[in-house]
A and B are shown apart, each in its own frame.
Chain A
Amino acid sequence: MTIKTPNSFRNQPNESGHFGQFGGRYVAETLMPLILDLEAEYRKAKTDPSFQAEFDDLLEHYVGRPSPLYFAPRLTEELGGAQIWLKRDELNHTGAHKINNCVGQILLAIRMGKTRIIAETGAGQHGVATATVCARFGLPCVIFMGATDVARQAPNVFRMKLLGAEVVPVTAGAATLKDAMNEALRDWVANVHDTFYIIGTAAGPHPYPELVRDFQSVIGREARAQLLSRTGRLPDLLVASIGGGSNSIGLFHPFLDDPTVKMLGVEAAGHGLDKLHAASLAGGRPGILHGNKTYLLQDEDGQILEGHSISAGLDYPGIGPEHAWLKENGRVDYTSVTDTEALAGFQLLCRTEGIIPALEPAHAIAALQKVAPTMDKDAIIIANLCGRGDKDIFAVAEHLGVSL
């Protein structure tokens, strides 16, 4: 297969919202006018210095950015290969990278005169981040969450309620993230006149994959500047976990045109790629769901399969369309790690660095265990530590056979 290398990997999507054959706007007619409005408003916001200034100000003083870029000496030593640096987005307000995107989207919602916010959530991190910005700006907030996830992420459900959000448990389908997204879309169609849908990952109909990426790219821009100023050089490898793909694209995008920087996206292999898993790139094929064309876990008739991961935040049968494109053109490598490997990565980071990661970035740590030892000692890896583990300690205890 010959791949035509584009001049730049950073100028997608095209005018119709496609990343190569992926992306697009596959939505019901009711939503189409709104999606077009959103795109027009986003174009204006992007070139409006006051929008950018307000976004930057909130990221600095409310979210706590820039997040540190931390050299992890004991993890590096333990793995015995490349230097490992961690981008500490788990130190953000609300404990994950999700808030970066929520700040951007709520500013857009306000610009568009919308007065009600809805969102879907899996692990609950995006739900918490959305509820947080809604409280901050005084807007009513409804969070759709699969009933299965409501049960396994009880602390986050309580957080959302404390923040004033209404949490709607979704019992349709398997009652996880994809069903929550269906239900959010149903609510949105019925309430387009006043409602803004804050999508939590770099997926959905155009312009969401683009705008979520842009808001999350603060991660990669900071990391690039931080590493350059500390070491005078660019990293050799970036590693990030992938649910829908927002923390990873946020880290990767600012580096896509630096040819010496390799990138590795880590999907959730669940019980194993030949069993139940959530690795859409490894185990899926292109299709259309939730407004975009991308790799999906599906059967031969195009019926969507349920994902499985120990991490509720990775448990989604699709992936953002830009990743589908970056896989096909070969710019980014993708791998997957199992639940068991992620648990080992989780414990490794706790033990070596005194940092309890969320189960999502624990997948990135597990991937480091495989790649770092194969690299030179002077090579540099940046891994995205996109969330902290407070929300996961109950789930981890259960898997380790500890009763709390």
Chain B
Amino acid sequence: MTRLQSAFAKGHPALVCFVTAGDGPTPAILDALVEGGADVIELGMPFTDPMADGPAIQKANLRALAAGITTSTIFKLAAEFRVRHPEVPLVLMGYANPMITRGPQWFADQCADAGVDGVICVDIPPEEDGELGPYLREKGISLIRLATPTTDVARLPAVLDGSSGFLYYVSVAGITGKQSAALASIEEAVTRIKQTAQIPVAVGFGVRTPEQAGPIARVADGVVVGSAFIDLIAQHGDDAAGPVRELATALAGAVHSARKELA
């Protein structure tokens, strides 16, 4: 089993946590997420033009770039994380240009060397898969795709084709940090997707609190939380690790036990 497969085979839904690389004390923040109970880490690669992100993550991107984050530093952060946490899957999430700028082969090689388990690229749809997908798959790195409320039944197989690890269901047609979708519509969508998908389905966008995450974890294989952590990091800066650990702990409690309450 790969690290990503194991993360979704623990007998409880997975908590997936997103933070932006280079925004705040990243190594301490990543450790805090793991200590709090995160099952999968998504490490955002900052980009000057984060078109799919709301104000919170946009600002985090710009803060990280202003603080001097580079692609090589991100791979160093990932490699060091892998040494400290041999079992916790780490996924890089970001936009196409920083990923392909030195060529997709270079990027896939770097991911493999740093022990990165998967890549989410917001702006490479299945139609443009050749830009990155084949290089990642060849190295055994999961290409994790996004499905959205506009991805209909006819299109879903194309989205799933060539993707692995998990499917990231974006519960709202919109940008990160905005309102969360109604639980009923999430449930309907996840049920529909799981009829086709052979891989776990994690739900994200707009999930901020344990109260929101728990009910979603009853229907989905995983819950993704991002902007809520970013807000804490914006607020606490160098001292963010503590508050991040607290939020992760509370979210993990809700997500991991969601189905027990049900039973």
Contact = CB atoms under 8 A, between A and B. Distances in A.
B123 interface: yes
Interface in A78-132: none
Interface in A6-35: 16, 24-34
Q: Which of A31, A179, A290, A296 has most B Cβ within 10 Å?
A: A31
Contacts of B159: 29
B49 interface: yes
Interface size class of B (residues with CB under 8 A): 35 or more
A324 B151 CA distance: 31
B175 interface: yes
Given A33-B151, A33-B152, A173-B48, A287 B101 contact: yes
B70 interface: yes
A73 interface: no
Given A25-B125, A287-B100, A287-B101, A182 B148 contact: no
Contacts of B95: 288
A389 B37 CA distance: 61
Interface in A304-350: 304
A47 interface: no
B48 A26 contact: no
Interface in B16-54: 47-54
A362 interface: no
Contacts of B49: 173, 178-179, 182, 289-290, 304
A172 interface: yes
Interface in B35-89: 47-55, 58, 62, 65, 70-71
B123 A30 contact: no
B124 interface: yes
A373 interface: no
A34 B54 CA distance: 21
A64 interface: no
A193 B173 CA distance: 9
A287 B101 CA distance: 6
Interface of B: 47-55, 58, 62, 65, 70-71, 95-102, 122-125, 127-128, 131, 145-152, 155, 159, 170, 172-175, 178
Contacts, number: 116
A381 interface: no
A5 interface: no
Contacts of A31: 150
A172 B123 CA distance: 20
Nearest to A304: B48
Contact of A27 (B123, B131, B174, B178): B123
Contacts of A303: 47-48, 65, 97-98
Given A28-B52, A32-B150, A186-B175, 20 more contacts: A24-B127, A26-B96, A28-B148, A29-B125, A29-B150, A29-B151, A30-B173, A32-B151, A33-B155, A173-B62, A185-B52, A186-B51, A186-B54, A190-B178, A289-B49, A290-B49, A301-B98, A302-B98, A302-B99, A303-B98
A153 interface: no
Contacts of A28: 51-52, 122-123, 125, 146, 148
Chain A: interface size category: 35 or more
A298 B71 CA distance: 14
Contact of B128 (A24, A33, A172): A24
A302 B101 contact: yes
Contacts of B172: 190
Contact of A288 (B48, B96, B102): B96
A375 interface: no
22 contacts: A16-B127, A26-B123, A28-B51, A29-B147, A29-B159, A30-B149, A32-B150, A32-B155, A33-B151, A185-B51, A186-B53, A186-B54, A190-B174, A288-B95, A288-B123, A298-B101, A301-B98, A302-B97, A302-B98, A303-B65, A304-B47, A304-B48
A270 B108 CA distance: 37
Interface string A262-273: 000000000000
